[in-house]
Amino acid sequence: MLPAILAILALTACTDQPVGYQDQHNTEEGGVLSRLFGKLTSAFKSKADLDDTVVPASEWMPPPPGTDPAVEELFGLMGLEEVQPTEENMNLDGALVGLHEHFPDDDDPEDFYEEVCFFAKSPNGTPGLEAMFWAEMFGVRSTDGRVSDINGEEIGMECVGCEEGNTDGDETRVIFFVNGIKVGWESHCDNLAQIADKTGAVVIGVYNGTEGMVKDVWQTAWDRFTVQIENTLADWGVNKTVEIHNNKAVTTLMNAIIQRVRQGKHVEVWAHSQGGAVTALALHRALRTLHAEGLYPVMKDGEEYPQAIKIVTFGSAASQWPRGLWPDGPIYTHYVHVRDATPSALGVGAWGGFTTFGEQRAGGDAQMVFFDGEPQEDPAVDPPQFIAIDPDDADVGFLDLEAEKYHGSNEVYFEMYEQVNGAWYH
């Protein structure tokens, strides 16, 4: 498998022409590598006959405002299965994650549940509109109860699914978060809570299950490799999602993006580490589907609306993003600690100079937030003071990179996000 991957990467990386063009040209000359590539891509193209994992468009009416299902009723209403956390985190892979709190009613004051981080998934990763509604309804909110709209203003009264929208506020800001490697379910839930407190957004997790370092790294490699192969096949006219590589978190996130765009809602995805590779693959697949449905580029009031899709990454392992050139979108913001090895080796990093390598990977008009500085053991007690670095000056040597010290989501990247953006409410 490795020699075949290297051969494909060599062919796709060494030419500015579409791979399909290059393959046809070399085949006429009898190139050995091109024939090998042709056989491999033919095998991949045959997978296009498999069933799509794209959720079909449908209609669904939300329940009346104030509906408060008990926890055992929620998953039936979502049309998903409840998944209980176990020592084997992979059983949660691809689940939508929220926080359930059921309030007692007058008839049964004992019918009460403390806040519970829940995991709900569909067997094939295709959450329907009802799943998206309840995921937003029970997404993680800030501990003080404040909720932000998409303009960063506090909402007077939030109303999920109401046709008239929120009272005293614009559309609710919703963030989907995808974690990186070696993240257990409890840490994932902690991430969601921290993001909610720092942004005021309703935060929905897309859990990227872990099987340990070796298998997680291998999955990351396949996430990255699949982007290139699927885009090559799309250039050859295979424009449907091709399941060369099945990552359940990718499929769930892809369908969440598709569903929200179909509903005319904004999309905001945060991704850390391997979560960046998951998000990049999901986004490539989602945009191909939406383009085929005539929904991308996203339009609003008769004009292209690039703000409809925002991607924010932290120490991402993704090396290829759909072009984000204005005015089409998406809009990218990449946070990179210059001494973090993951983005430098695999994504949009500073090793060798950002303008030399990373700029080509960033997704067009991406906003880069490079920074340096030491993380603190307890940021709540002793907030770190990171130093922002101009992208033109973002350059570190190989020996300056570290695998873990500067890669943490909570103590490094989310702290820098708050340092740059400040508290969302004033």
CA 293 to mean position of chain CA atoms? 21
DSSP secondary structure code for residue 203 in this structure: E
Q: 49 — phi, psi (to 5°)?
A: -80, -5
- In-domain check, residue 23: yes
DSSP 60-118: -PPPPTT----HHHHHHHHTSEE----S-GGGGTT-EEEEEEEPPBTTBTT--EEEEEE
- In-domain check, residue 8: yes
Angular region, 384: left φ>0, alpha ψ -120 to 50, beta rest: beta
Residue in this structure with the two tokens 């051969």, named with its chain if needed: 7
User: What is residue 185's predicted lDDT score, i.e. its pLDDT?
Assistant: 93
User: What is residue 225's predicted lDDT score, i.e. its pLDDT?
Assistant: 82
Would you tell me how many other CB atoms lie within 10 Å of the CB of residue 51? 7
| Helix (H) or strand (E) run with residue 300 in it | strand 299-300
The tokens describing 250, both together, are: 């990718």
- In-domain check, residue 122: no
Helix intervals (H) in 246-379:
248-262, 274-292, 341-346
**Non-local CB neighbours of 158 within 8 Å, separated by 6+ positions:** 147, 166, 169, 172
Query: What's the CA dihedral at 87, 92, 97, 101 to 10 degrees?
Result: -50
- In-domain check, residue 22: yes
The tokens describing 332, both together, are: 């990218």
- In-domain check, residue 43: yes
- In-domain check, residue 359: no
> How far is residue 31's CA from residue 247's CA, in Å, rounded to a whole number?
33
The tokens describing 268, both together, are: 């905001």
Q: Which residue segment(s) compose the domain that 10 sits in? A: 4-49
- In-domain check, residue 32: yes
> How far is residue 139's CA from residue 154's CA, in Å, rounded to a whole number?
17
Distances (CA, A) of 362 to 71, 192, 317, 320, 323: 41, 25, 11, 7, 8
The tokens describing 158, both together, are: 């939030």
Strand partners, 82: 120
> How far is residue 353's CA from residue 113's CA, in Å, rounded to a whole number?
52
> How far is residue 161's CA from residue 402's CA, in Å, rounded to a whole number?
45
C-beta separation of 295 from 57 below 8 A: no
Find out whether the peptide bond into 383 is cis, omega within 30 degrees of 0.
no
- In-domain check, residue 72: no
Q: 66 — phi, psi (to 5°)?
A: 95, -5
Mean pLDDT for each consecutive 10-residue tract of the chain (426 residues)? 31 33 34 52 48 82 84 86 80 91 57 73 88 94 94 94 90 97 94 96 96 87 83 71 76 96 96 96 92 91 90 93 66 94 85 65 83 88 89 86 94 95 79
Burial 365-398 (b: 16+ CB within 10 A, else e): ebebbbbbbebeeebeeeebebeebebeebbbee
User: What is residue 24's predicted lDDT score, i.e. its pLDDT?
Assistant: 31
Total number of domains in the chain = 1
> How far is residue 325's CA from residue 364's CA, in Å, rounded to a whole number?
5
User: What is residue 66's predicted lDDT score, i.e. its pLDDT?
Assistant: 80
Give the 3-state secondary structure of residue 285. helix
Inter-helix orientation angle 2-13/32-46, to 10°: 100
